[in-house]
Structure 1
Amino acid sequence: MYQQDRKAQTILRIIGELQKRGFASRSALATALSLYTSTVSIRMKELLDWGIIREVGRGESGSSGGRKATLVELDPGYGSFGGIYLAHDRVTASLFTPGLQESDRRTLSLAGMGEADVLAELAEVARWLGSASSTIPLRGIGFAASSVVSGGGRVGSSSHFPWNLGEVPGLLADQAHCSLICSDNDANAAALADASLLDSERPNLLHLLVYGNVPTIGSGIFLDGRLYRGSEGGAGELDEGLWPLEGDIALQVLRLGRLLGRFLDVDAIFISGVLDEEAKRRLERSGDAEAPKGSVRFVDDPCWVEKGAALMALHEHIEIITGVKHEG
Structure 2
Amino acid sequence: MSQKAGGSLRSLRRTNQEQLLALLIDQGPLHRAALARLAGVSRTTVSTIVNELLERGLVAKAEGKPIADLDGRAGDLLSVNPRAAVVAGMNHTFDGVWVHLGDLSAREVASAGTALDPDTGPAERIAAGASILRRLLDEEGLGLGQVLGAGVGVPGPIHRGTGVVGVSLPGQPWSHVNAADEFERALGLPVTVENNTRLEGVAEARWGAGRSVANLLYFGLSSGIGSGLILDGRLYRGAVGAAGELGHVSVSVNGPACRCGNRGCLVLRAGIPAVLAALRPVFGDAMTLDEMLDRTVAGDRAGERVLADVGAVVGQVLANLCNLLNPQRIVVGGELSRVGELLLTPMRTAIRRYALALVREVDVVQAELGRDVPPGSGLGARIGALGGAALVLSETPDLAAALNRVAAKGATA
Superposed, 1:165-180 pairs within 5 Å as 166-178=177-189, 180=190
Any idea what SS the aligned residue of 1:193 has? helix
Residue 230 of structure 2 is matched in structure 1 by 222
Whether 2:223 is the aligned partner of 1:199: answer no
Q: Any conservation in 2 of the 1:91–1:122 contact (CA below 8 Å)?
A: no
Shift in alpha-carbon separation, 1:155–1:39, aligned structure 2, 3 A: same
Matches of 1:67 and 1:273, distance apart in 2: 53
Residues 237-282 of structure 1, C-alpha deviations (whole Å, 9 max, x = no match): 1235524335432344444334413431222222211216324665
Matches of 2:232 and 2:131, distance apart in 1: 37
The structural deviation recorded for 1:133 is: 1.9
Q: Any conservation in 2 of the 1:140–1:181 contact (CA below 8 Å)?
A: yes
Any idea what SS the aligned residue of 2:104 has? coil
Matches of 1:103 and 1:293, distance apart in 2: 39
Shift in alpha-carbon separation, 1:146–1:57, aligned structure 2, 3 A: same
The structural deviation recorded for 1:73 is: 4.8
Q: Which stretch has the larger CA shift, 280-289 or 137-146? A: 280-289
Any idea what SS the aligned residue of 1:144 has? strand
Any idea what SS the aligned residue of 1:188 has? helix
- Structure 2 unmatched runs, 5+: 1-17, 252-265, 271-305, 353-358, 370-378, 407-413
Residue 154 of structure 2 is matched in structure 1 by 145
The structural deviation recorded for 1:86 is: 1.4
Residue 305 of structure 1 is matched in structure 2 by 384
TM-score by length of 2: 0.58
The structural deviation recorded for 1:88 is: 2.1
Matches of 1:168 and 1:73, distance apart in 2: 35
TM-score by length of 1: 0.71
Residue 4 of structure 1 is matched in structure 2 by none
Any idea what SS the aligned residue of 1:140 has? strand
Q: Any conservation in 2 of the 1:147–1:161 contact (CA below 8 Å)?
A: no
Q: Any conservation in 1 of the 2:315–2:348 contact (CA below 8 Å)?
A: no
Residue 260 of structure 1 is matched in structure 2 by 321
Identify, as 1 or 2, the structure richer in strand.
1
Identify, as 1 or 2, the structure richer in helix.
2
Superposed, 1:11-22 pairs within 5 Å as 15=25
Which one of 125, 131, 137 corresponds to residue 133 of structure 1?
A: 137
Residue 272 of structure 1 is matched in structure 2 by 333
- Identity over aligned residues, as a percent? 20
Q: Aligned partner of 1:191: which letter?
A: G
Which one of 86, 96, 102 corresponds to residue 102 of structure 2?
A: 96
Q: Aligned partner of 2:243: which letter?
A: A
The alignment covers a number of residue pairs equal to 293
Shift in alpha-carbon separation, 1:278–1:196, aligned structure 2, 3 A: closer
Matches of 2:36 and 2:318, distance apart in 1: 39
Shift in alpha-carbon separation, 1:13–1:256, aligned structure 2, 3 A: farther
Shift in alpha-carbon separation, 1:228–1:56, aligned structure 2, 3 A: closer
Matches of 2:40 and 2:203, distance apart in 1: 26
Any idea what SS the aligned residue of 2:336 has? coil
Matches of 2:249 and 2:24, distance apart in 1: 43
Residue 295 of structure 1 is matched in structure 2 by 363
Q: Any conservation in 2 of the 1:206–1:261 contact (CA below 8 Å)?
A: no
Whether 2:112 is the aligned partner of 1:106: answer yes
Matches of 1:299 and 1:41, distance apart in 2: 43
Matches of 1:285 and 1:12, distance apart in 2: 46
The structural deviation recorded for 1:218 is: 0.7
Matches of 1:53 and 1:284, distance apart in 2: 48
Which one of 210, 222, 230 corresponds to residue 211 of structure 1?
A: 222
Shift in alpha-carbon separation, 1:60–1:114, aligned structure 2, 3 A: closer
Q: Any conservation in 1 of the 2:227–2:244 contact (CA below 8 Å)?
A: yes
